[in-house]
Chains A and B, each alone.
Chain A
Amino acid sequence: MSKEWPLWEIFIRGQHGLSHRHVGSLHAPDAEMAIKNARDVYTRRNEGVSIWVVEANNISASSPSEKGPLYEPSESKIYRHPTFFDIPDEVGHM
């Protein structure tokens, strides 16, 4: 069997004004073909106005075992949310 095409991760901007979002992956020999294939499978029903493709092995990801040290510290910092502060009604909308 010949060499397998690399895997690409596909990101699509669904509408003007929105961010690109990960929608899935596909195999393609290069970026140009990855975009063409992504257009053929992931935008068949007006799902997109723009496509990003990234070769999967170029993505670095946080590891599931780091979940605690990475995300728990923010749980105790409730003052980062506006609802932490009581503002008197008389002050009006803030």
Chain B
Amino acid sequence: MYAQMIKSEASTDDPEKLKEFQAKIDANIKVEPRDWMPEGYRKTLIRQIGQHAHSEIVGQLPEGNWITRAPTLERKMILLAKVQDEAGHGLYLYAAAETLGVSRDDLTEQLLNGKMKYSSIFNYPTLNWADIGAVGWLVDGAAIMNQVPLQRTSYGPYSRAMIRVCKEESFHQRQGYDIMMKMAQGTDAQKKMAQDALNRLWYPSLMMFGPSDAESVHSTQNMAWKIKMNTNDELRQKFVDQTVPQAKYLGLTIPDEHLTWNEEKGGHDYSDPDWSEFFDVLKGNGPCNVDRLEARNKAWDDGAWVRDGLMAHAEKKKAQVAAE
């Protein structure tokens, strides 16, 4: 998912107030920006929503890489629309985080200086056009798994942002799967590219859900607060079960020789990704970490004169109107 390993912050608030707050959440009453909330709830949410927003924005880079190289004008327009949507998702989420008392520029700065993270998945490269199909199919597919339940999250602005995001997200997954279908039904070389993309992106997609957290105290607290709705393993299992028939339809093989249907649990058994790779990527050692942060920093620095120019113009106009 787009927010990984979110540690919950401890609260040092009045136990009576905490109890009242929890009762409200248990009754499914949404928390709104000006309502009282525990400091831990606020801080954890800022971290989670911020990381989610950063992922939407950084996630534009691997796909944006292929806008100018899409195979047809139609594919180009579709991909452009998809990447534009992701910019909107980032905006909705930043706006939700801002209601918690952090500024947009603060969050941006923390992304740019590496203090805040974005999803590990975007540190992998998109090497060819089939990867664009696989990203839509698997990466957006995994994101949806996480975002659909978050529509019911306890924090009102986050929940509303998720509802908007989910409305747009299924287009993303479908356009990816559509690319995969074309490739898988194409020439032998195209089919090989599709299989190769699945081979490379399968485990990084499973990593998106984060390591097992069934026993983590952070996970328990965040689930009680309803800012996390399912354990990582639950969502990963759902993702695997959903994806297996989709891969089968494409005639592609999921790169896991241990993948089998388990009648008893009513789901597939599958191999875990290499978690040491995951932690390494989080630490900054993935194939594209440096590129991604460089690209975001460059965009921010190169855009400074535009932001400043427009602001100066707006202030000048305001002064003129005031003088009249």
Task: Tell whether, in the assembled complex, residue A5 and residue B311 are in contact, meaning their CB atoms are under 8 Å apart.
Answer: yes
Task: Tell whether, in the assembled complex, residue B304 and residue A2 are in contact, meaning their CB atoms are under 8 Å apart.
Answer: yes
Mostly, the A contact residues are loop
From residue B245, how far is it (CB to closest CB) to chain A in Å? 29
For residue A61, CB closer than 8 A to chain B, the reply is: yes
Task: Tell whether, in the assembled complex, residue B84 and residue A30 are in contact, meaning their CB atoms are under 8 Å apart.
Answer: no
Docked pose: A24 CA to B90 CA in angstroms: 12
Q: 8 Å CB contacts to B: which residues of A38-73?
A: 41, 44-45, 61, 63-64
| Contact of B84 (CB < 8 Å), options: A24, A26, A29, A44 | A44
For residue A1, CB closer than 8 A to chain B, the reply is: yes
Task: Tell whether, in the assembled complex, residue A29 and residue B98 are in contact, meaning their CB atoms are under 8 Å apart.
Answer: no
Task: Tell whether, in the assembled complex, residue B310 and residue A41 are in contact, meaning their CB atoms are under 8 Å apart.
Answer: no
Docked pose: A64 CA to B35 CA in angstroms: 6
Partner-binding segment picked from B101-109, B136-144, B199-207, B271-279 = B101-109
Docked pose: A61 CA to B168 CA in angstroms: 31
What residue in chain A is nearest B87 (Cβ atoms)?
Answer: A41
| Of listed A7, A27, A45, residue having the most chain B CB within 10 A | A27
| Contact of B104 (CB < 8 Å), options: A3, A27, A29 | A27
Docked pose: A4 CA to B310 CA in angstroms: 11
Docked pose: A41 CA to B311 CA in angstroms: 20
Residues of A within 8 A of B32 (CB): 64
For residue B258, CB closer than 8 A to chain A, the reply is: no
Task: Tell whether, in the assembled complex, residue A29 and residue B314 are in contact, meaning their CB atoms are under 8 Å apart.
Answer: yes
Per the CB 8 Å criterion, the residue count for chain A at the interface is: 19
Residues of B within 8 A of A26 (CB): 91, 95
For residue A33, CB closer than 8 A to chain B, the reply is: yes
What residue in chain A is nearest B305 (Cβ atoms)?
Answer: A2
From residue B314, how far is it (CB to closest CB) to chain A in Å? 4
Task: Tell whether, in the assembled complex, residue A24 and residue B109 are in contact, meaning their CB atoms are under 8 Å apart.
Answer: no
Residues of A within 8 A of B35 (CB): 64
Per the CB 8 Å criterion, the residue count for chain B at the interface is: 30
Docked pose: A24 CA to B164 CA in angstroms: 10
Docked pose: A64 CA to B92 CA in angstroms: 24
Docked pose: A30 CA to B320 CA in angstroms: 14
Q: 8 Å CB contacts to B: which residues of A17-31?
A: 24-27, 29-30
Docked pose: A27 CA to B91 CA in angstroms: 9
For residue B307, CB closer than 8 A to chain A, the reply is: yes
Task: Tell whether, in the assembled complex, residue B34 and residue A63 are in contact, meaning their CB atoms are under 8 Å apart.
Answer: yes
For residue B88, CB closer than 8 A to chain A, the reply is: yes
| Contact of B98 (CB < 8 Å), options: A7, A33, A61 | A7
Docked pose: A64 CA to B317 CA in angstroms: 37
Given contacts A2-B311, A4-B104, contact A41 B91 (CB under 8 A): yes
Residues of A within 8 A of B84 (CB): 44
Residues of A within 8 A of B317 (CB): 30
Task: Tell whether, in the assembled complex, residue B95 and residue A33 are in contact, meaning their CB atoms are under 8 Å apart.
Answer: no
Residues of B within 8 A of A2 (CB): 304, 307-308, 311
Given contacts A4-B104, A64-B34, A64-B35, contact A25 B313 (CB under 8 A): no
For residue B85, CB closer than 8 A to chain A, the reply is: yes
Residues of B within 8 A of A30 (CB): 310, 313-314, 317-318
Docked pose: A27 CA to B95 CA in angstroms: 9
- 30 A–B pairs (Cβ distance < 8 Å), ordered by A: A2-B304, A2-B308, A2-B311, A3-B308, A3-B311, A4-B103, A4-B104, A4-B105, A5-B310, A5-B311, A7-B98, A7-B104, A24-B92, A24-B160, A24-B161, A24-B164, A25-B95, A26-B91, A27-B104, A29-B307, A29-B310, A29-B311, A30-B314, A30-B317, A41-B88, A44-B81, A44-B84, A45-B168, A61-B34, A63-B34
Q: Which 6 residue pairs are nearest across A and B when measured between Cβ atoms?
A: A30-B314, A29-B314, A29-B310, A25-B95, A41-B88, A4-B105
